[in-house]
A and B are shown apart, each in its own frame.
Chain A
Amino acid sequence: MNRADLEDFLFHEAALLDEWRLDEWLALWCEDGRYIVPALDAAHVDPREALAIVADDLTLLRSRVEQLLSGETWAEVPRSRTTRMIGNARVLEHDGDRVRAASSFVVHRHHRDKLDVFAGTYRHELVVAHGAVRIREKRVLLVHDLLAQGRVSIVL
């Protein structure tokens, strides 16, 4: 996987999230996938050992998506409008079918007359097999040390 391939994948993922095509986004995941947003002061600690903000396995992630799509997630009714800017993409390691990648992101979320900004770094661990790219881990490292608002109710 070269940088252009990585960018294609990250931009595709961003489009699925911005367009609320969350079922298609879920299909990108490996069965043993983990979606992690660490606490801001324990960014590099395993969520088994430190309190995080999100640490979903695929069961929880499927439930999260279902709750978002069904309209049960009150914080996302009506659905937030988001736009993601992703840059500085780098392939850190490519070993067999495993790819570790880093990128920077800014997510703007507009909801109920308010604009929230999330900024930070993505760390993706991808599996490339039979021409398809799957996410094994997505770790969202926020730069904020105090979130201005308490609703990480979208998928970052």
Chain B
Amino acid sequence: MWWNAHVDAALRDLIVDDESRLAFRVDHRVYCDPTIFEQERHLIFERCWIYAAHASELGKPGDFVARTIAGRPMIVVRGSDGVVRALLNTCTHRGTMLCKQSSGNARVFRCPYHAWTFDTMGRLRGLPGREAYGDAFATEAFDLAAVRTESYRDFIFVTLDARSPSLSEYLAGAKEYLDLIVDQSLGSGMEVVRGTQRYGIAANWKLLAENSIDTYHVMALHRRYLDYVADQGVRPSPPRGRALQLGNGHAVSISTPPVAAKPVAYWGPPMPIAQKPAIHALQQRLRDAYGDARARSIGETYRQLLIFPNLIVNDTVATTIRTWDPVAHDRMDVTAWALVPHGQPPDERAHALQSFLTFFGPGGFATPDDVEILESCQHAFVNREVRWADCSRGMNKVEPSFDDELQVRAFWRRWRELLTGESATGTR
């Protein structure tokens, strides 16, 4: 731990992690208690590196996105000096939200209230009636507050903790999985496609972290998607694979063969048959560039990558960035984007987007049912007689399967470390 937190015994007991008894349980109180939510704000969202934006959204100087990150309104902007900064979206004069537009290109940010004006590096450059403040007035004391910002392979993260380790150290074992995702672009880099899915879920934010890396539920809850795939004449072999804890609460679930399409590069519904030759050509290009094993890992393997606490990069039926902002103990706002190789041919992009939509998002064949489930969990937790959520699946194995719950345990072990200051040692 890089800060001093006292061990909170009451919080410690909310999770039972006992490898000798193959027991892993989470007290439902973690989803329901507003005081725990307040502690999470400080101990998790103000300490961890939180995903903010993708560099492709900020191509040229002045490009910005304004969004809520770690519960805070921020402007992430590429300054006129080319440097990407995250600035708190609060005017240093009287506290107005400076920028209401969700994205765009700006030369300056001008406060609508009294016209204080900041450049794209956050410096106060103008205020009407400057002479009324006297000679001692130091404009630099009123520059916009910049939040620590670092990026890894174009994924831009911010942290509100000046003392936290570097992003690279924080990402730990997750980096090589981000590498696998980015390397599908064969060196051209990835880009976020225009069009954002934004929706609320009336449930605790941690339920979505669990749900997004839980592959156990797919066969049961997402039967209709698998039936749709089967109706297209495709009978996939049962996937096999494993899950890994990647350090700092990050985790990945890895499985192959894919049960449906992977845009780069495995043919399956909803791609038309006519797309097969293009997919085979893509596979060959990956093999030429990376060799057979890595090409299969990049192109013919599904992965759900959780970067603690609130980023999921799915590399399955599509490559997706999904993050969610915790609004209250029983409410989150989700944002999802499609990530594709830069310069991808139009037909391939169209199929990638279609594959995304057919499974993910509020209108997909899977996500609405997940949302319904998470909201129903939040509703049913009120029965305090049923105290525990069980996450012990696969604890009896040295290498838990992709559809066991090691990835869920990885999340909770880190969660407890951050809330109690007590190190977790569980490996299974």
Q: Which residues from chain A sit less than 8 Å from chain B, CB to CB?
A: 37-42, 45, 47-55, 59-60, 63-64, 67, 70, 72-75, 112, 145-153
List 8 A–B pairs whose Cβ atoms lie within 8 Å, in order of A's numbering: A50-B195, A51-B338, A53-B363, A73-B224, A74-B369, A75-B368, A150-B368, A151-B368
Q: Whole-angstrom distance between the alpha carbons of A150 and B194 in the complex?
A: 19
**Contacts of B200 on A, CB cut-off 8 Å?**
146-150
**B208 nearest CB neighbor, chain A only:** A150
Contact A52 B195, beta carbon cutoff 8 Å: yes
Closest to B371 in A: A150
Asked whether any CB of chain A lies closer than 8 Å to the CB of B81, the reply is: no
Residue of B196, B227, B232, B349 with most chain A CB atoms under a 10 A cut-off: B196
Question: CA–CA, A70 to B102, complex, Å?
Answer: 40
CB neighbours of A60 from chain B (8 A): 270, 358
- Count class of interface residues, chain B: 35 or more
Complex interface bits, B342-365 against A, C-beta within 8 A gives 1, otherwise 0: 000010011001101110011101
Chain A: which residue is nearest B228 at the CB level? A63
B211 to chain A, nearest CB (A): 12
Bound CA span A146–B331, Å: 13
Among B202, B228, B231, find the residue whose CB has the most chain A CB atoms closer than 10 A.
Answer: B228
B108 CB within 8 Å of chain A: no
Given contact pairs A73-B224, A146-B200, A149-B201, A47 touches B353 in the complex (Cβ within 8 A)? yes
CB-defined contacts of B224 to chain A, threshold 8 Å: 67, 70, 72-73
With an 8 A cutoff between CB atoms, is B105 at the interface?
Answer: no
A152 pairs with B362, CB closer than 8 A: yes
B196 and A72 contacting across the interface, CB-CB below 8 Å: no
A9 to B210, CA, bound (A): 45
User: How far apart are the CA atoms of A153 and B372 in the complex, in Å?
Assistant: 10
Give the chain B neighbours of A59 by CB distance below 8 A.
Answer: 232, 270
Over the window 72-106 of chain B, the binary record of Cβ atoms lying under 8 Å from chain A Cβ atoms (1 yes, 0 no) is 00000000000000000000000000000010000
Beyond A39-B196, A67-B228, A146-B200, whether A152 also contacts B354 by CB under 8 A is no
Q: How far is the CA of A53 from the CA of B349 in the complex (A)?
A: 16
The residue of chain A having its C-beta at the shortest distance from the C-beta of B193 within the complex is A51
Cross-chain contact of A42 among B195, B346, B362, B368 (Cβ < 8 A):
B195
CA distance A48 to B337 in the complex (A): 15
Binary per-residue interface labels of chain B (325-344) against chain A in the complex, 1 for a CB within 8 Å, 0 otherwise? 00000000110011000000
